[in-house]
Amino acid sequence: MRRLLRTLRYYGLTRRRHRWKNREALELWQEKRIRHHVEQIRQASPYYRDLWANIPAAEWHRFPIIEKQLMMDNFDTLNTVGITKDIAFTEAYEAENSRHFKPTLHGITVGLSSGTSGSRGIFLVSEEEQAAWTGTVLAKLLPGGLWQRAKIAFFLRANSNLYESVRQGRLQFQYFDLLEPVVQLVDRLEQYSPDIWIAPPSMLRLLAEAYLSGSLSVQPRRLISVAEVLDPLDREHIERTFGQKVHQAYQCTEGFLGYTCEYGTLHLNEDIVHIEKEYLDRESRRFVPVVTDFSRKVQPIIRYRLNDILTELAAPCPCGSLFTGIERIEGRCDDILYLPHLENGQLVTLFPDFITRAVMAASPEIEHYRVIQRSPLDLEISYRSREGSTEDIESLLTGEFSRLFTRLCCIPPQLQFTEYSFSPGPVKLRRVERSWKL
């Protein structure tokens, strides 16, 4: 009962936080919250206390930026509850290997990040933070409000007490383990018949194909994409199949960072996090977010640089929200491709969106694709076209990529075409990937 009351309190707080008159008022409110928060963290975290030595809270913008490796290297003194990295990893790996995700350490939920960038991270969440997360998620993502009955299906690689906490009051929740066979997952979904499906886009795509084939008959009231980049090709197919928008929850180890409004625009959750924009390209509005969560205390996230590429919305969203609108989460900085310039050999940047647009422009017959840059002059393109297609897809892709390379004045890489293959499971789908390091 106490956990439910906590969740309801945060649900109510989130629903009432639309009171700022303008963007300036929102930023002033954020500033006050952050200054108070960093003073608390300075007292509780030895790592941050040393890192911020002689820098007052009012000048928190001068605090050094940290990244994942730095956080993991200093995990023992960064967190405020005295949990060591070794103990946390042992607990998290044991839960993941046994597929039993219930245990906590002294009331603290421990989880593993997916390790998309090559190394896995740890996250710690207290019971209070868990209630805050649950209340916020329900307030922002639940259609019809908390009092309407709903059945939620959550497809993820690992469950957590954090996700299980969504089960509140009139809400039912079932976890669907992506390590189970797809046929088994489809059968369970058919029996459960949930209203809300929350899954990576690769899984939503498979569910759409199961629906089209007749092996799945149930339909959702709301679709929410999580954990992977929502590729335009997948979005179009899923929305066409189910006749509704695919919403997004921008959720990662570092927090619940964004959600889509009724117009389908992804907005940053600037009522719980502050986002600094580290621009990669101002003209195209691409930036890397630097996150400060001004409520999370067990594992503080303050001036933490993510590895994601976000594209800011060019014009205000019709919903009227003061929160920053995002046109697209494009991928990770690790998956920016680089090709040598024709004249000087300097590396030219190819954002993942360039590759996606080239594939989609090549042919509407392409159903699935992956593009992996193996070296500066080797590009592997795997694809699957629609059954019965007679188009010469490889020639069309070659032509479209040649035009892209010419426009960017790059030395054309060697193209290798392979058969597309991917199954949801322990590895996230990355439509565009760079497998070599700069």
Strand partners, 276: 290
- Which candidate, 370, 337, 372, 425, places its Cα nearest to that of 114? 425
- Greater model confidence, 156 or 261: 261
Quick count: other Cβ atoms within 10 Å of Cβ 261?
17
Strand partners, 124: 110
Cβ atoms 174, 194 nearer than 8 A: yes
- The 10s digit of each residue's pLDDT in 125-146 is 888 888 787 778 777 777 666 6
Residue 437 has pLDDT above 70, yes or no: yes
Average model confidence (pLDDT) for the chain?
88
Residue 204 has pLDDT above 90, yes or no: yes
- pTM for the whole structure: 0.87
**DSSP code, position 281:** E
Set out the domains of the chain in order of their start, with CATH numbers: 2-332 (3.40.50.12780), 336-434 (3.30.70.2210)
At 203, the pLDDT band (50, 70, 90 cuts) reads very high
Q: Which helix (H) or strand (E) is 272 found in, with range?
A: none
Strand partners, 246: 223
Residue 268 has pLDDT above 70, yes or no: yes
% of the chain residues with pLDDT over 70: 88
Rounded mean pLDDT, 308-315: 95
The pLDDT value given to residue 414:
96
Rounded mean pLDDT, 78-83: 94
The pLDDT value given to residue 145:
64
Residue 164 has pLDDT above 60, yes or no: no
At 388, the pLDDT band (50, 70, 90 cuts) reads confident
Rounded mean pLDDT, 64-93: 91
Quick count: other Cβ atoms within 10 Å of Cβ 45?
23
Residue 95 has pLDDT above 90, yes or no: no
At 160, the pLDDT band (50, 70, 90 cuts) reads low
- The 10s digit of each residue's pLDDT in 322-361 is 999 999 999 899 999 999 999 898 999 999 999 999 999 9
Tell me the residue length of the chain: 438
The pLDDT value given to residue 435:
93
% of the chain residues with pLDDT over 90: 65
For the stretch 55-61, contacts whose Cβ atoms lie closer than 8 Å and that sit 24 or more positions apart, written own/partner, are 60/34, 60/35, 60/292, 60/302, 60/303, 61/276
Residue 121 has pLDDT above 60, yes or no: yes
Quick count: other Cβ atoms within 10 Å of Cβ 312?
17
- Greater model confidence, 438 or 278: 278
Helices (H), 156-268: 161-164, 182-192, 201-213, 232-242
Strand partners, 248: 225
At 218, the pLDDT band (50, 70, 90 cuts) reads very high
At 283, the pLDDT band (50, 70, 90 cuts) reads very high
Residue 33 has pLDDT above 70, yes or no: yes
Strand partners, 293: 273
- The 10s digit of each residue's pLDDT in 175-193 is 888 888 899 999 999 999 9
At 168, the pLDDT band (50, 70, 90 cuts) reads low
